[in-house]
Amino acid sequence: MGHELTNEQIDSILQGIRIPPQPQILVDLQLEQVMPDPDLGRIATLIRQDPGLAGTVLKVVNSPFYGLRNRITSVEQAVNLIGMNSVVNIVNGLSIKSQMSDETIVAMNRFWDTATDIANVATTIAKQVGYPNPDLVYLLGLFHNCGIPLLMERFDNYSQVMVESYEHPELRVVDVENQKLNTNHAVVGYYTAKSWRLPKLLCDVIAEHHNATRYFSASDYRDTEQKTLLAILKLAEHICGNYRVLGKQSTDPEWLAIGDEILAYLGLGEYDMEQMEANFAEMGASYQNYF
């Protein structure tokens, strides 16, 4: 049985940055809660599909209230440790505080779709290349763009800025955002991930995920875990058509610049990538609905 927190303790932990949860996920969770015998496994599966909910649950379980010696990065493990009643209180609290307009929900759909798609594809890539911690890769895929919905809420024109940042022929995505907003989603995502007490390695990759050209230039021979995670993430983004869904572009400038180097670093070839793209298309590529 999980160690249950009081409502006051939960409110204290949840102070600060919040990403609005996906409405349909909240509905599904609430339906599961009212079942005669709610399934914690089903609840964990739903939570791990949503960056806001997953981040909140991980923040709770890694808070001082639990005093765990090792940081938890598995949503399933976190849900089991927290227990049903605390999870229900967290979900209900976020549901009450996350009233969004229909227009906002439509705009946010782009973020939610890419987050779950990239997380799943990145996990598959991690297993194929032998990366030993697929749970960490899943979290990276889910959270790497968590700054986007926060900037959407802060700036009415952010969706247009995002398109302009992807279509710029020379500047990085974050450079255009910095020019127009004096901040960017990678920086906001980094501090959000830190506030959720995610592992430092994950936070660092989130901060650098639009700076991959520096890591995969011809003069950079480093072989680090951060570089491996970055390579897996950029390949997953490309396969999932992130440049189409978020940037509304027909080409992926980042991938054109460093794609060959990333494949070589991961020990993959064009055929491997084509097979992944085909498999993902069979699953139902979300980007086809956005371009």
Residue 2: inside a domain, yes or no?
A: no
In a shared domain, residues 153 and 171: yes
In a shared domain, residues 77 and 188: no
In a shared domain, residues 284 and 157: yes
Residue 153: inside a domain, yes or no?
A: yes
Residue 172: inside a domain, yes or no?
A: yes
What pLDDT does 255 receive? 92
Residue 258: inside a domain, yes or no?
A: yes
In a shared domain, residues 128 and 93: no
In a shared domain, residues 80 and 128: no
Domain boundary among 50, 79, 97: 97
Residue 68: inside a domain, yes or no?
A: yes
Sign of CA dihedral 281, 46, 94, 53: negative
What pLDDT does 242 receive? 87
The domain of 38 spans: 7-97
In a shared domain, residues 129 and 92: no
In a shared domain, residues 72 and 107: no
Domain boundary among 45, 71, 97: 97
When the pLDDT of each residue in the chain is averaged and rounded to a whole number, the result is: 83
Domain CATH code at residue 165: 1.10.3210.10
In a shared domain, residues 63 and 111: no
What digits encode the pLDDT tens for the residues 146-196?
A: 888 888 888 889 989 999 999 888 899 999 999 999 999 999 889 888 877
In a shared domain, residues 107 and 241: yes
Over residues 8-22, mean pLDDT: 62
What digits encode the pLDDT tens for the residues 93-148?
A: 665 555 556 666 666 777 777 888 898 899 999 999 999 998 899 989 988 998 88
Measuring CA to CA, how many Å separate 81 from each of 123, 125, 127, 204, 249? 23, 29, 26, 27, 43
In a shared domain, residues 93 and 116: no
Residue 66: inside a domain, yes or no?
A: yes
In a shared domain, residues 148 and 14: no
CB 280 within 8 A of CB 274: no
In the chain, the percentage of residues whose pLDDT exceeds 70 is 83
In a shared domain, residues 235 and 106: yes
What digits encode the pLDDT tens for the residues 41-75?
A: 999 999 988 888 888 888 888 877 777 888 888 88
What digits encode the pLDDT tens for the residues 159-169?
A: 899 999 998 88
Residue 262: inside a domain, yes or no?
A: yes
